[in-house]
Every structure is written in C-alpha cells, then in structure tokens.
Structure 1
Amino acid sequence: MSYTALYRRWRSRTFDEIKGQDAITASFKNQIMTGRIGHAYLFCGTRGTGKTSVAKILARAVNCEHPIDGNPCNECPSCQAILSESSMNVVEMDAASNNGVDDIRQIRDKIQYPPVDGKYKVYIIDEVHMLSQSAFNAFLKTLEEPPSYVIFILATTEPNKIPITILSRCQRYDFKRITTDTIAARLREISDAENIQVSDEALHYIARSGDGSMRDAVSLLDQCSAFQFDRRIEYEDALSILGAVDTAVFSDLVRALSKKDVKTGLQLVAEVIDQGRELSQFVSDFVMYARNMLLASTVDDLSGLVDMSSENLKRLKEDASLLSTVELMRYIRMLSDLSNQLRYATQKRILIETSFMKLAYPETDASAEGMNARLAEIQRTLRNLPAGTPLPATAASANAGDQNNVAPQPALASTPKKVTLPRAQYEDLQLLKKEWRSICAAITIPVLSAALLRDESYVRPDRDRSGMTIVTRSRATAHLLEQEASIPEIRRIVAEKYHKDIRFSTVLSEENEAATVYVTDEDLSKIHMQVETEG
C-alpha cells in the first residue's frame, strides 16, 4: 500500500480538531446548530492555516444526517461519501487552472439541478483570486442570488486581488497565522501517535520553521522522520535536515562584525556553505536574529516576543549590547535587502560576503543610515576609553566634521564632583538612568525617539533639585525637545510605566556627566576618593 503523507493523514475531520482558529470554528458550529447558514463564504489567510480543511468540514456538516454539537459525525453515508470524494454534492475547483468565463458558466449550468441526496450542493473554489476579470463578472449574479440549496466557499491567499463586488457578497473569515506553541503541541500529538521519537527542542524548531503554517510544519516533521526513522531526532538533526543554522553561528558572526574582524566573519560564511546550508534561509534567519537583538536592546520583557532558551537569550542580550539601536536597524535593513537580492543572484556567496563587509565597515555606506552607524560606532569607542586617554584621530575628525549638529566633545575631567540629593530624588535618578533607553523607545513621536537614542542623551537632577533635566549634546535634538508636545510626552510615559510624576526640563550641554557623582547624605561616608562637594 502506498504511503500517505502526514499532512494528508492528519487533516482535521471536525471543527474541534482545527488548531489556532477558535473564533472561526465556533462561529461555524453555531451556524450549523441554529441553521443560519450563509450562501457564500470567503476564507482568507496564508497557506496552511486551515482554509481548505474548514471548507471540507463545513461541506460535511451542512449535509450530515446526525451532526454532533455543530460537527459532522463522519459516520453517516453523506459524510462517508464526501470523505471518499465520491459525493456529487461537493465540487472542488482550482481557480489557478480553471479561471475562465467558460468554467464559471459550467458552474452556473450545474447549480440549476438540486442535490440528489443531502441538503446542499457545496462549491469550493480555491485560489479564487486567480479568476479573470471576465470570470468574476460572470460570477457576480450567481454568487449574489444562488438557489437555496447551493453554498459557495471561496478560498484565497490574496484577498486584495478580489474585486470589491465579490467581497461584498460573501461572509469573510480571516484565518490568522498559527502560533509556534500551537503548532508544536499538534506536532507532539502527531509524533506520539506515529511513534516518531523527537526531542522537544527539535519539535519546537520545526514548528518555528513552519512560519505559522500547520501544513508546512507537519510536512517538515514528515521529512525529518524519514531521514532519522531509526533513532530520536535531536535539535542538531533538525538543523542538518532542514538546512538551517544554529543561532550560535549568528552570535559569532555579530561579534566578529562588531569588531571589524571580517576574516572570522567570512570563515563562518564558508563553514555554512561547506555544510550545504541554504544561503537564502541563512540570511533570513540572520534577519530574525538581528530583529531579536533590537527587541532585546529596547524591550524589558521579551516573553512572547522572542522564542529562545534561557542560555541563548542571555547570549542574545550580550550581543545586543555590542551595537546601538541605529546600528541594529541598519543590520535589519541591509540584511532584508540582501534577502531580496538573493532570489535572483547567480553569485550568492559573493553578494553575502560584500554585504557583511559593509556591515563591518559603515564608512563604506554613504547612506544616512551608514553615517548614523559610523557616529554610533565613534560614540561607543569614546565611552570605552579610560579616563585621560587622548581622543583617536578618527573620532576627533568626525567630531570636527559634525559641528553643525553635535556640540564639541568636552575635556575629560580629572577630579570628580560630588552632588548630594534627597533620597527620593536619588532613587528617581537611578530609575531613569536604568530605564532611559526604554523610555526613549516608547515615545510615540518617531523623530524625537530616534534622536534621543541616537544622540546618547541622559538625565540629571535639576539645579534646584525640583525635577530632572534631559541633557543632550545635539542642537537638533535639543530643538526637538523644545517642541510643545515633547516634554509632556516623556512625562506621560514615565507616569504610566513607573507611576512617578516627574517634572522635566532640557538643556544643551558640554558637561561631562561621568565626572559627577550623585549620592545621598547617608552615603557620603562610603566614598573614599577626592571629590569636590556641591550642595
């Protein structure tokens, strides 16, 4: 007997077995139980989300002799005939290959005859957006006023290509992408029933590779089980079979590029190629890793946003600290462009290598993003310099060339200055220092948010100790902060996130914040160094 693919063998047979589309299945169960069945439905959604499965279940349910809570019994002669695809009451048509006026005319001719047995004739038209304009026009009247015993179910992955006149005649249901956890739970159910030995980590990776499609994920599980049928499928096996790359490679790549170690970066690419990995998938996964780094650098709670083990998550946060937000956004933009270019490239390796060189050396990128990345790199270099170290020539020249936008770098202070604060204001200051980047990222004024993150702004107490001052060295950012809505927006975010009402002001300053030590009166005795005291 021939082998049946897992996704066909495990196709859902009732509404209750459909995963990840609870609202849609509940609606159809209620329609079956109350008898309020429409004459035309439009199912929209990406591949593998259950459109065709729900259509077939609905076709059985409306003709079932003994429905159970809105589900077909799958036992009566009508259900059995539809399951075996021998029923004359259910007609499936692929509009990709039957998209002309004549095909629609055949449907119009056939619906004149009522069903021989059963209650309804159901027409399932898949990829309906592929119909020609003439076919859509011929279909309009029939779709609007079909005989009472006819139901049309239209399925499409591109509803934007369907004329509005068709959309307005259908009940529309949008099938959402299925979550990774839901797919993983279904894969575990299938693997246990099929005696497929697979680790949870590998199963979760397969579910994630399905990219929201249950059918794709089940097909990948089928592929892995065929390759490793005699032993347990581990995470490394799934990576090897599916041609994917472990996240450790992306971590090593980010660390190499951040240090301008192009040789190591190109060696990692060579290893990926030697292992036979799919380069398009490699770049797509790298885009996702860059996205995860951006989230790690701007979002406090990553639960539900990043799917990683605790060990990989720790390494991800370490990688994110190596690059500024501006640089991470440049990574995502350049890698996304690279992913699109690879579709038509004949020399994929060369294209990837040159793109990685541009990532390592932002000075080769003449775009605004490249300039911002270069400035962020210089600022990071300056922050990491020990006190008293002369500025590098590149940093000095960069500062000199940007005098219109950024104030000159201050001289490094030799003796720190101590400022005493009330306990409450000291605690507010420590909170704002810790959360300042998150506050900036939460600002709903995009230009202001980007400027504050790019210019490495910070907060310090007011001179009169009554609030906080936002300090920036960029005249452009200072101008944005002076706009009427800017300070109230920051104050609102702090109040909502941390339940503190803090008054803010702003200043363009050349002072060196690192040379100021803020303490409370009771902490004064704990400082054992020469300081200047300011009350």
Structure 2
Amino acid sequence: MDAPLALYRRYRPETFAEVIGQEHVTEPLRHALSANRVHHAYLFSGPRGCGKTTSARILARALNCEQAPVAEPCGECRSCRDLARGGPGSIDVIEIDAASHGGVDDARDLRERAFFAPVNSRYKVYIIDEAHMVSPQGFNALLKLVEEPPPHLKFIFATTEPDKVIGTIRSRTHHYPFRLVPPKVLGDYLMELCEREGVKLEPNALPLVVRAGAGSVRDTLSVLDQLLGGAGSDGVTYDLSVQLLGYTPDALLDEAIDAFAAGDGGTVFGVVDKVIESGQDPRRFAEDLLQRLRDLVIVAAVPDALTTGLLEVPGDRAERLRGQAAGFGPAELTRAADIVNTALVDFRGATAPRLLLEIMCARILVPGADHGALGFSARLDRLERRIGIDGAPAPVVETVEATSSPDPEVLSTSSRTEEAVEPEQHTVVEPVETTPEPEAELTEQPTGDLGIADVRRLWPGVLDAVKNISRYTWVMLSQNAQVVSRDGETLTIALVNAGARDSFVSKGSGDHLRQALGEVLGVSWRIEAIVDPSADPSRDQTPAEAPAPKTSGVKAPEAVHEAMAKKSSPAEREDPDAAAHPDDPVVDTGDDDPEQLLSRELGARVIGDD
C-alpha cells in the first residue's frame, strides 16, 4: 500500500473559495473572472507557502473551464479534471521553475513556442515560479512578448521577491501581494484538518504548531504532518509537540518568570543550567521567553485581553498569565522584553551562547545598572511594588506656634492668611509629621502634591541642583538654612541670623533656589527667607536697614554673619557690646570692608561666584 501524500498536497485548494487568509486577492480575481475582464499578465508575490502557485493554477483552471467566464472552475469539464488535485495536468498550462530555467536561452525558447495556439484549451498559460530568479537578460528577452502577447497567451509570475523583477515587466502586470495567514484563521483550519484525519489535537499543542508554521500554510501543514506521523493513541499532545518542535516547556518558563518577578537570581541561573544540561538551544529559550514576556505585556496593558480574544490561550494558562503579570510593573516587563530582544541579535554566530544567556538574565535582574529611561521606570515600578502603593506618600502636616503664649511678632500659619502682616515680620512654624519618612532617600521626580516631609526628603537633590547654579547659595543653604514650612505656593526657609537672611535676599539666592526646585521637583514656588528663632530667640527678627555686606563666593560661618549683622544695626553702632553673645569672637568693627574683615579674622580669600 502506497503511503499517502503529504498534507499540503492532499489538501491543496482547487477553488478560490478554499484558499484561506487571502481574501484581498481571491475576491478581486473572482470578480474579474466572472466579468470576463482578465488581464494578460499577473504578478503574484508574497511569503513562501501562502498560496501563490496554487492561486495561479486555480486562475488557469478557471480561464480554461468550458463554462467560462466563471468565478470558480466547474470541476467537471476536461480542463478542470486535468488541472484538479492529483490530475495529470494540461499540455496548455506550462509551469516553469525560473530557478533552473531563468537564462536568456530559456526565455528565447519560451518566446518561440508561445506563438503556437493551445492544443485543447482556450488559453495557453505560462506559470513562471520563482520569477525573481530570471536573469535581467531573460526578462529583456520576454519583454516584448509580455508587453504585446497573442490573444491566446496568459502569463502568471509568482515570486517571493517582487523587487527583483525588473520594472519594465512589473509595469505590464497586475500585481497581487499575498500575505501571511493570521494565527486564528490558521488554527481553525488545522482543527478542521485534524477532524478530517480523525486525529485528536490538544488545545495546548495547537499554538505551538501555528507558531512553528510562522503564518505559512504549507510550512504549518508540514509541521502538523510530522506530528501526526509521530502521534500515538492520544493524538497530538502538548508534550509530543514540545519535544519534536524543540520548544521550552511551560513549566520552565513559569519558573523563570516567577524568579524574575521575585528578583531570585539563584532560581534564574538554575533555569539556565537546566536549559543547557537538557540540550536545549539557548537561542530558542530566549525566543520562548520573549514570547511569554510579550503575552505578559499585553495582559498588563489590556486586562481583558484574555476574555476578548486578543490573546488565544487555554483557560489554565490564562490564569497563570494574570498572576505573573501582577508580579511586574509595566516598565519592568517592557524593559525585560527589550533586553531579550536585543540579546537575540547577539546570539547569531555566538561562540558562547550560555554566557550570553546568563548576561541577558543578569541585566533583567539588575535594573539599577541600566541608566536609561527603561531602567529608571523599572526601578520605580519595583519600589512602588515594595511599598505597596501607587505613588510617594504625602504626609499630613500640622503647624503649631513656636511659643507658649501669643506673640504679636510670631504668627501662626492660619493667622498669616487672614491678617495683614508688616513686611519685616515673619511666620515661625514647626512641622509635626504624622507619617514617618521613608528610610531610603529618593532622587526621582515625585508626582502629586508635596508635603513638607517630601520636600525635606528630597532636599539633598535640591542642594545638588543649587550647587550647579550658585556655589554661594549652596553654601548658605547647606550650612546656615533649614526648610521650615510650605504654605500653598510659598516655601519658607529659616536662616541662622539676620545677616545671613539679608545676604540670602540681596544676592538673589531665592531665585537660584526657585530654579533648582523647578529642575528637581517641577514646581515654581515663591521663596520666603526668615530668621530662625531657635538659634537665639532674643535676637531681633526685623530685617537689617543697611545693605547686605559683600561676601560673594565665601563660605561664611555663623560668627562672621553675626558680626556683620551687629555692624548693620543702628543701636549696636552706639554700643557694639550691648547685645554681644558670650561665644562671639572679638571683632574690630571699625573696618568697614567685609572682605578685609574675613581675611583678617578667618584667613579667608574672597573668590567670585564662578
């Protein structure tokens, strides 16, 4: 008993209605046939195994049908029987393989024989397969014939590379591009064929067969034919498909994905070891991992993808995908897929595939080593997942008065918004945070409303930005200032004494701080500078009447600021020692030049802002 033909030959379509996934081609051809408006030359292009040659045979069969013009061949006349599946063929339909007959001599021989009338049919049809293999000289020899053929002659060129067909030939044909068949259409077709063959195909195995065929009907049927040949009484099972097609088992992919989500490097590299020890191809494992990450990216972005048919997976696997997607942030999944996709390029010609696979896994595990946008987003996803919230916490801040009894010079935050305040009077508040600050310092740009605790937590980053703008402002803020409160669009900064406060204002340090806050926090707050009463409550909080001393670029300590402030007060000019602090150094106040004062008392050298 002879062995049956291959599946793709046993089920080769005989009519345009049987061609799957190419309706954009078959429908216009059927309309042209029924209306008797058929062109003399056609160019069918597209990926291999998508029905180009089959459609050319169907077109030739319909053209020579005795009932023509018809959209579908009748299947009963002599021409239809000769060109049917398994038929002897027709002497008037000539198929030429241009891969072996594409030279100029073959073209001249074709040109000489083409002028003879058909023997039994209406048309003589030349089907030239692999047309891109015809040499330029061969195409030139056919050019006049293709341009002005005799009435009985039809040409059908089939090729996977239409760009290699010279333009003069392409311009004289009607071009129909074929496409890869969609997975769902191909999957339904495979289930139908398995029913005809009487073989059971497990739902878990069907996606593997479709994926192996890569959209080509002929390649997919070849894969299914192999599985049918090796199937036992249980039919085509998932385990059989995985073993014969070389795919990574789902259990191993699940183990790898769960380990990546947990940051478990030991398990990840254990999976790599299993892949190598079991003889699997590292590149194939990376391809399967990328396919799984792609599914997870879609599930994370479209929660109902599994119910709306966007992803075609069995029910038990759908639940696993939902659980695995919940273990990652969207940026983590995107970054991991990008890393695997890049690694697949490096696998080509690699001499150490295991090393490349391990490096790929290490990069996925360590988002902190990636300084790009994806790495930043992945670290943010991981941080948010660890603290269990969607954003940075905004602590509730209460403001209380600094003194136990009302003081007309010190106002609470609420009274400042309701009563008029003289310009030289400032609010003094002490923030009481009801939520603890996180232990880890963050330098990512926050989102949402910022409380005073958030500002203090991000203050080191603000100081770094200030340092790049003005070193004088950075010195002033880092040594002599602290954040007091935030009221609406106003941020209050307390400096150690009136001299420091006046220098801060006169040097434009508030503008520098506002610029840094915009760069780091993305805000445009007004800066209010006050004297910190906690340094010495007995000191006057009113601004100095004299202009601020010239101390640009100098790291001035508290004692020097206090000495300069004493020089600026009219009352203290009369009695310099009246309000002297016991710890103040003895300073010669007769020197009106602050630069000489700093040089003499501290040995400092004055430099510019730059």
Q: Same fold (TM over 0.5)?
A: yes
Is contact 1:406-1:475 (8 Å) kept? no
Superposed CA offset, 1:286-306 (max 9, x none): 222222222222224423421
Question: Whole-Å Cα distance in 2 between the matches of residues 130 and 59 of structure 1?
Answer: 22
Superposed CA offset, 1:296-331 (max 9, x none): 222244234212123322322332233333332222
Work out whether 1:196 is the aligned partner of 2:232.
Answer: no
Question: Whole-Å Cα distance in 1 between the matches of residues 330 and 519 of structure 2?
Answer: 19
Counterpart in the other structure of 2:296: 293
Work out whether 1:145 is the aligned partner of 2:148.
Answer: yes
Superposed CA offset, 1:22-80 (max 9, x none): 34223222322222211111222222221111111111111122469522233433233
**SS of corresponding position for 1:147:** coil
Structure having the larger proportion of residues in helix:
1
Is contact 2:252-2:271 (8 Å) kept? yes
Is contact 2:62-2:70 (8 Å) kept? no
1:272-291, aligned counterparts within 5 Å?
Answer: 272-291=275-294
Work out whether 1:118 is the aligned partner of 2:121.
Answer: yes
**SS of corresponding position for 1:43:** strand
Aligned match of 1:305 in 289, 305, 310?
Answer: 310
**SS of corresponding position for 2:102:** coil
Question: Whole-Å Cα distance in 2 between the matches of residues 159 and 389 of structure 1?
Answer: 68
**SS of corresponding position for 1:172:** strand
Question: Whole-Å Cα distance in 2 between the matches of residues 168 and 261 of structure 1?
Answer: 60
Aligned match of 1:324 in 329, 341, 356?
Answer: 329
| Residue range with higher mean Cα deviation, 26-35 or 48-57 | 26-35
**SS of corresponding position for 1:154:** strand
Change (3 A) 1:149 1:59: same
Counterpart in the other structure of 2:132: 129
Work out whether 1:38 is the aligned partner of 2:23.
Answer: no
Change (3 A) 1:410 1:295: farther
Change (3 A) 1:372 1:141: farther
Question: Whole-Å Cα distance in 1 between the matches of residues 266 and 97 of structure 2?
Answer: 51
The one-letter code matched in structure 1 to 2:339 is M
**SS of corresponding position for 1:151:** strand
Shift of 1:256: 0.9
Counterpart in the other structure of 1:427: none
Question: Whole-Å Cα distance in 2 between the matches of residues 98 and 21 of structure 1?
Answer: 29
Aligned match of 2:320 in 315, 318, 339?
Answer: 315
Question: Whole-Å Cα distance in 2 between the matches of residues 200 and 386 of structure 1?
Answer: 45
| Residue range with higher mean Cα deviation, 156-165 or 109-118 | 156-165
1:394-409, aligned counterparts within 5 Å?
Answer: 396=441, 399-400=442-443
Superposed CA offset, 1:58-116 (max 9, x none): 11111122469522233433233334454222222233343333333332222122212
The one-letter code matched in structure 2 to 1:96 is A
Shift of 1:118: 0.5
Structure whose alpha-carbon radius of gyration is higher: 2
Is contact 1:225-1:233 (8 Å) kept? yes
Shift of 1:475: 6.2
**SS of corresponding position for 2:95:** strand
Question: Whole-Å Cα distance in 2 between the matches of residues 148 and 155 of structure 1?
Answer: 21
Change (3 A) 1:187 1:118: same
Aligned match of 1:356 in 352, 361, 369?
Answer: 361
Structure 1 residues not aligned, in runs of 5+: 414-461, 464-473, 480-506, 510-535
Work out whether 1:7 is the aligned partner of 2:8.
Answer: yes
Question: Whole-Å Cα distance in 2 between the matches of residues 147 and 281 of structure 1?
Answer: 53
| Residue range with higher mean Cα deviation, 99-108 or 258-267 | 99-108
Structure 2 residues not aligned, in runs of 5+: 394-434, 455-487, 490-516, 526-610
Shift of 1:407: 11
The one-letter code matched in structure 1 to 2:22 is Q
Is contact 2:437-2:453 (8 Å) kept? no
Change (3 A) 1:70 1:133: same
Change (3 A) 1:359 1:60: same
Change (3 A) 1:118 1:475: farther
| Residue range with higher mean Cα deviation, 184-193 or 11-20 | 184-193
Work out whether 1:337 is the aligned partner of 2:338.
Answer: no
Superposed CA offset, 1:193-251 (max 9, x none): 22223234433442343222221221111111111144322223222222222444333
Work out whether 1:19 is the aligned partner of 2:20.
Answer: yes
| Residue range with higher mean Cα deviation, 231-240 or 217-226 | 231-240
| Residue range with higher mean Cα deviation, 321-330 or 269-278 | 269-278
Shift of 1:124: 1.6
**SS of corresponding position for 1:98:** coil
Counterpart in the other structure of 1:89: 92
**SS of corresponding position for 2:271:** helix
1:67-466, aligned counterparts within 5 Å?
Answer: 70-83=71-84, 84-302=87-305, 303-365=308-370, 367-383=372-388, 391=438, 396=441, 399-400=442-443
Shift of 1:380: 4.0
Question: Whole-Å Cα distance in 2 between the matches of residues 217 and 119 of structure 1?
Answer: 36
Question: Whole-Å Cα distance in 2 between the matches of residues 50 and 475 of structure 1?
Answer: 61
Change (3 A) 1:290 1:163: farther
Shift of 1:11: 0.9
Question: Whole-Å Cα distance in 2 between the matches of residues 299 and 478 of structure 1?
Answer: 31
Counterpart in the other structure of 1:519: none
Q: Higher RCO, 1 or 2 (CA under 8 Å, sep at least 6)?
A: 1
Change (3 A) 1:69 1:59: closer
The one-letter code matched in structure 2 to 1:80 is R
The TM-score, its normalising length taken from structure 1, stands at 0.69
Superposed CA offset, 1:247-275 (max 9, x none): 44333312212322122112223333444
Question: Whole-Å Cα distance in 1 between the matches of residues 226 and 89 of structure 2?
Answer: 30
Is contact 1:6-1:219 (8 Å) kept? yes
Question: Whole-Å Cα distance in 2 between the matches of residues 309 and 92 of structure 1?
Answer: 44
RMSD (CA atoms):
3.5
Superposed CA offset, 1:477-519 (max 9, x none): 998xxxxxxxxxxxxxxxxxxxxxxxxxxx789xxxxxxxxxx
Question: Whole-Å Cα distance in 1 between the matches of residues 40 and 106 of structure 2?
Answer: 20
The one-letter code matched in structure 1 to 2:265 is V
Change (3 A) 1:204 1:256: closer
Question: Whole-Å Cα distance in 1 between the matches of residues 4 and 340 of structure 2?
Answer: 40
Change (3 A) 1:116 1:386: closer
**SS of corresponding position for 2:234:** coil
Is contact 1:251-1:316 (8 Å) kept? no
The TM-score, its normalising length taken from structure 2, stands at 0.61
Is contact 1:407-1:475 (8 Å) kept? no
Change (3 A) 1:150 1:346: farther
The one-letter code matched in structure 2 to 1:127 is E
Question: Whole-Å Cα distance in 1 between the matches of residues 175 and 369 of structure 2?
Answer: 50
**SS of corresponding position for 2:154:** strand
Work out whether 1:65 is the aligned partner of 2:70.
Answer: no
The one-letter code matched in structure 1 to 2:129 is D
The one-letter code matched in structure 1 to 2:256 is L
Superposed CA offset, 1:391-448 (max 9, x none): 455xx3xx34x67x999986769xxxxxxxxxxxxxxxxxxxxxxxxxxxxxxxxxxx
Is contact 1:259-1:360 (8 Å) kept? no
Shift of 1:9: 1.3
